[in-house]
Chains A and B, each alone.
Chain A
């Protein structure tokens, strides 16, 4: 187990370096980091030149990357071009997005898996067909449409929720935005659980459990569900990173000042330090989530051993 974790951590290093280098190159080489510094006007050449020297942009790219990474490991993510430390921006943005993601993941697990089990056990019945069609519709409608509609109906027309989330962004306020953010993944979780449950329903161990006279509830939760969860857990694990990065649309609709908001501002204003910094953290979150998922496999299926 310990050796497996160490090996996986070592494997994460090249992926981490690669992904950060990729985003670094995309931002710094393809774009012009100085272009965003003078507002909407063009910088005059002399100022641009001085800014380049000040920011170390006249050095070769690999040197810039190494300097940047060196700083990151000492906890210095640089300064956004409005003078704020990127770490300060992160300090205000990440707690909000983490709360939003927690809401989304919990809803995915609770609603998605419940619906999946219910439909998987009743394949071909009206409940199953109904939920299946509903998931297809939810997946097809882009998140921004769902979000705008929910905001218009619940927030503006019926007044059930506030159309915009306040700066505190409490769990209660984030419930509806979290549901919007989770909607597509929730539909996928339902479908995955359904397929998995339907496949395993006729497995020998389920028949044995029933034959032993175990209560139906215990057969379903302990035997059937536990064995059916591996694909679902894999999906949810990779989804954590996707949700945090994908919150860009949801955060924009509900005016939530989280990671998505900062990234959106950063990208539009070509604020390179912000973009690279936030994406670096997102890549780390993604990698760690994947590692945790792999370790969870052994919890779900004791036959899986890590050497």
Chain B
């Protein structure tokens, strides 16, 4: 046994050295005390490195994140410069790679390529921040409900049902209409306010299962405090299903932002986002479909990347799928 443990420690260290960009499980691995055998995660990482689905989606996500942080790397053109005289709805030049006219120009003579590159930031920021927020809220609610059970569980579960029962897009629209300003943080607030229920349910289910396991019973018998049991024993073990659901949901929130913008109620100019461009493109759909299609394809690619990433992580973490 000691040998095996040592081997696993080595693996954990290896992992820490591996260049990690967007691999969610890795960053989490750094959380719990080092030196503990972490077989589930090492196994998963071992599988993931060999999964083409994972490698492709991780590279795509990395690419999108770089685009969101440093749009200047991809284009020198400004997303807000408009030149109606020369570029009114100019069609794409598919061979002019990475140039301002690659994807053509929109109704206001702005480079669609520049807008797509600069739009990544708002869309990805909404996706990432909403996911972080709902994961934190959902995990806390789900853990407290699952751990304490009884009336606390009843109360929190009913509260989750209440928020789950309100139709998502309708509720988000209602919240958004009450704000004068349609900035990124308002959209984040609206989506996070209604979005946490899914994670809460998953976390509650996971905690209820883990609560009965031997190591938790042992920890309690040894006199560990409630907070120690929750954060050292239950949380790390409940993380797997939560991360899978969160990654897949991330894509969904990016889609939701675009949908709200399409309905004319999400982000608004002068923010540059894919959703806004989709909304402005829908009026030229018949004569210039590329104005709508190009940002839509970007939304789809981003959602697809996170879906594939979540799928790959789920396959690696779920022993049933082996």
By a beta-carbon cutoff of 8 Å, the part of chain A in contact with chain B is: 11, 14-16, 18-19, 22-23, 26-27, 30-31, 136-137, 139-145, 148, 152, 156, 199, 241-242, 244-246, 248-249, 252, 263-264, 267-268, 270, 275, 279, 282-283, 286-287
Interface residue from A16, A137, A241, A249 paired with B259 (Cβ < 8 Å): A249
B163 located at the interface, meaning its Cβ lies under 8 Å from any Cβ of chain A in the complex: yes
Q: A31-B178, A248-B263, A270-B177 are in contact. Are A141 and B296 (CB under 8 A)?
A: yes
- Add 4 more A-B contacts to A18-B165, A139-B307, A145-B296 (CB < 8 A): A23-B166, A26-B171, A30-B175, A145-B299
**Inter-chain CB contacts under 8 Å: number:** 128
Residue pair B300, A19 in contact (C-beta under 8 Å): no
Chain B residues with Cβ below 8 Å from A267 are 170, 173-174, 177, 265
Interface residue from B166, B255, B286, B320 paired with A22 (Cβ < 8 Å): B166
B292 located at the interface, meaning its Cβ lies under 8 Å from any Cβ of chain A in the complex: yes
Chain B residues with Cβ below 8 Å from A199 are 320
B258 located at the interface, meaning its Cβ lies under 8 Å from any Cβ of chain A in the complex: yes
15 A–B contact pairs at CB < 8 A?
Answer: A22-B162, A137-B300, A142-B296, A142-B299, A142-B303, A144-B282, A145-B300, A152-B285, A156-B286, A248-B263, A252-B263, A275-B174, A279-B171, A283-B165, A283-B166
Chain B residues with Cβ below 8 Å from A15 are 158, 161-162, 165
- Closest residue of chain B to A267 (Cβ to Cβ) is B173
How long is the Cα–Cα vector from A243 to B292 in the complex, in angstroms? Answer: 25
7 closest A-B pairs by CB: A245-B167, A18-B162, A140-B304, A140-B303, A30-B178, A19-B165, A31-B178
How long is the Cα–Cα vector from A282 to B165 in the complex, in angstroms? Answer: 8
- Closest residue of chain B to A15 (Cβ to Cβ) is B161
B159 located at the interface, meaning its Cβ lies under 8 Å from any Cβ of chain A in the complex: yes
**Chain B nearest CB: distance from A132 CB in Å?**
9
Chain A residues with Cβ below 8 Å from B251 are 140
How long is the Cα–Cα vector from A137 to B175 in the complex, in angstroms? Answer: 30
By a beta-carbon cutoff of 8 Å, the part of chain B in contact with chain A is: 158-159, 161-163, 165-171, 173-175, 177-178, 251, 255, 258-259, 262-265, 278, 282, 285-286, 289, 292-293, 296, 299-301, 303-304, 307-308, 311, 320
Residue pair A279, B167 in contact (C-beta under 8 Å): yes
Chain A residues with Cβ below 8 Å from B171 are 23, 26, 279
Interface of A is mostly: helix
Residue pair B263, A264 in contact (C-beta under 8 Å): yes
Q: A14-B158, A142-B259, A144-B262 are in contact. Are A248 and B169 (CB under 8 A)?
A: yes
Interface residue from A27, A30, A145, A246 paired with B167 (Cβ < 8 Å): A246
Chain A residues with Cβ below 8 Å from B300 are 137, 140-142, 145
Interface residue from A26, A246, A268, A283 paired with B169 (Cβ < 8 Å): A246
Interface residue from A142, A248, A283 paired with B258 (Cβ < 8 Å): A142
Chain B residues with Cβ below 8 Å from A144 are 258-259, 262, 278, 282
**Chain A nearest CB: distance from B200 CB in Å?**
14
Q: A152-B289, A248-B170 are in contact. Are A145 and B165 (CB under 8 A)?
A: no
Residue pair A148, B169 in contact (C-beta under 8 Å): no
How long is the Cα–Cα vector from A22 to B293 in the complex, in angstroms? Answer: 37
Q: A27-B174, A145-B278 are in contact. Are A242 and B162 (CB under 8 A)?
A: no
